Chains A and B, each alone.
Chain A
Amino acid sequence: MLLAEQILNGAQFGIMLFLLAAGLTLVFGIMGLINLAHGSLYMIGAFTAAWAGNATGSFAAALAIGMVVTAVVGMAIEAAVLRRLYARDHLDQVVATFGLILFFNEAATWLFGRQPLFAAVPPWLAGSVELLPGVPYPAYRLAIIAVGLLVALLLYLLVARTRLGMLIRAGSSDREMVRALGVDIRLIYTVVFGLGALLAGLAGVMAGPVFSVQVGMGEQVLILTFVVIIIGGIGSVRGAFVGALLVGMVDTLTRAFLPGLLKTLMSTSEADAIGGGASSMAVYVLMAAILLWRPRGLFPAHG
């Protein structure tokens, strides 16, 4: 029963990672930009939503404000800074976006203080649902899973079936040719970046009631998001989906069960310490193993 619950927790965390990874993989796989500040967008979504939720008492308002503000901030930094970096070395992108992280973290500290903000679960999702007899599960977490699956479907349809998706895919293989065909590729990039930011904001809004809303929350999840993208294969939305679920499951399950397993072998405090360390390491071991086995990830996008 505990196992079923932890598997759902793993799926819910994985879905959250997918929302972040989807935006990052659009930007990274299509525009070739390593955006370390993607985690900051997630943080902005969480902070603005928590603030708006506390101010208005309405989850819908929190959701709307969180997503809109994040998308606007995302498009603003694209236009002001990141646009100049597409043609640059990955290293320049790493440093410039690292600078953005410093800025956003400090700005958040300045505006909201160092104490974590409280974000409420909407009342109509506050209860729990009995999925299997005897296994109650929080409705809010189930809602996260549902929203994530819906976004995955919409994103798939957008990229594979629409004209915008076609232009995005074309732009990733030959930017100049798309421009020569009379398409405003700059605008498309800004829109795609805004879309990625919106997804990061959505993840942040939904994460608020589950994790703590505080400065630095973006970086913890950012690294895991990069792990997801690398495992899945850069530029592949399908890879991001599979990678996210894999990472979410491995991270959650090792955290839940590894210390317990170790307790059968050694003393409790040692098992907690080593189990904690080993479960934090687990996703990185997974990534290293997958890269050694398939150096381009599970679903490489190009060839």
Chain B
Amino acid sequence: MARLTRERCLLLAGLVLILAYPWGAAAVGQPFLVGLGTRVLIMGLAAASLDLAVGFGGMVSFGHAAFFGIGGYAVGILAFHAHEETAFLGLVPGSNLALVVWPAAVGLAGVAALAIGALSLRTAGVHFIMITLAFAQMLFFLFVSLKVYGGDDGLSFRPRNILPGLDTRDDMSFYYVVAVLLILFLILARRLLDARFGVALRGVRENERRLAALGIRPYGIKLAAFTLSGAVAGLAGALMANQARFVSPELLHWTKSGDLLIMVILGGLGTLYGAVLGAAVLILLETGLAAWTEHWMIVLGPILVALILFARGGLWGVLTGRHRP
């Protein structure tokens, strides 16, 4: 039997909390809390995917909202064409089937991440931060200029994507769909990070030259991790589009990339689960403070500053008693 470490206890508690949460929300008679929980899990998925690139690969992407937005727009645009009974670019018919739309969202975000990563990984450090931002801004303005799909105002659509045997219109069912996808991703990512690939990835982060001397090409490893990270962010974007039944260029805005980075760092860089915790803390802080005062950002700003100054290693590091190496 596995040893009961502090981290394992926390993970178990987190799992129970995620699975029991909607019942608790229903029990206190606040059904909107289910939607809030769904948003936390979706942003947690996006933040955890970003942590793969930033925390484990050392690739600080300041443009991850691009992949999130591409996933979202894949859902929105396909729903738009399904409703209008027209075809995207006159070629691809619209669809409302999750099993068609979600893989498409993941694939498109993955291809975009492959292309952007392939170009951006020629640079490093601060330049990498800025070039990923540049590509995300290009896509942001592209969607702003697409008047057919609402431009600035965004695009709303009626039904959520259909899953066989499940009613995704029911908020509780949709919550569990998201929860299962998040948990599956965390399990797969953990296994991948413990496997040869993950070891090589961390090796690249620590010392590229030494790894190259061992015969492992850093570029390929980093690009693979970046692509995977972008693809999963695309899945999160597709889920968010479904949750809100609305997409807008806001999904790709640079402040969204900033939010994702904050979640990752708040939770603890390179801890994977910490990103989900960071997403939960940030969204709950925002929602809680916004309910309390209109000027909630005047409080949130200093809280973030204080957390960075004093909770080094992130909240997951504080909880598990482990600090950033």
Contact = CB atoms under 8 A, between A and B. Distances in A.
Interface residues of B, number: 45
Interface in B118-161: 119, 122-127, 129-131, 133-135, 137-138, 141-142, 144-147, 151
B151 to A, nearest CB: 7
Given A92-B308, A277-B145, A102 B297 contact: yes
B261 A84 contact: no
A107 B304 contact: no
A104 B129 CA distance: 24
A223 interface: yes
Given A106-B301, A280-B144, A91 B265 contact: yes
Contact of B305 (A91, A99, A105): A99
Given A92-B308, A96-B304, A273-B147, A284 B127 contact: no
B60 interface: yes
A227 B136 CA distance: 13
Contact of A84 (B124, B300, B309): B309
Contacts of A219: 255
A91 B269 contact: yes
Contacts of A269: 147
A107 B297 CA distance: 9
Nearest to A219: B255
Nearest to A36: B258
Interface stretch (A67-75, A155-163, A186-194, A285-293): A285-293
Interface of B is mostly: helix
B262 interface: yes
Contacts of A274: 145
A95 B310 CA distance: 13
B269 A103 contact: no
A227 to B, nearest CB: 7
A144 interface: no
Nearest to A92: B308
A92 to B, nearest CB: 5
A217 B265 CA distance: 26
Contacts of A292: 119, 122
B279 to A, nearest CB: 14
9 contacts: A81-B305, A96-B304, A98-B304, A103-B297, A103-B301, A223-B133, A223-B254, A276-B145, A278-B145
* A-B residue pairs, 7 tightest by C-beta: A277-B145, A103-B301, A99-B304, A102-B301, A280-B141, A106-B297, A106-B298
Interface of A: 34, 81, 84-85, 90-92, 94-96, 98-107, 109-110, 219, 223, 226-227, 230, 234, 269-270, 273-274, 276-278, 280-281, 284-285, 287-288, 291-292, 295-297
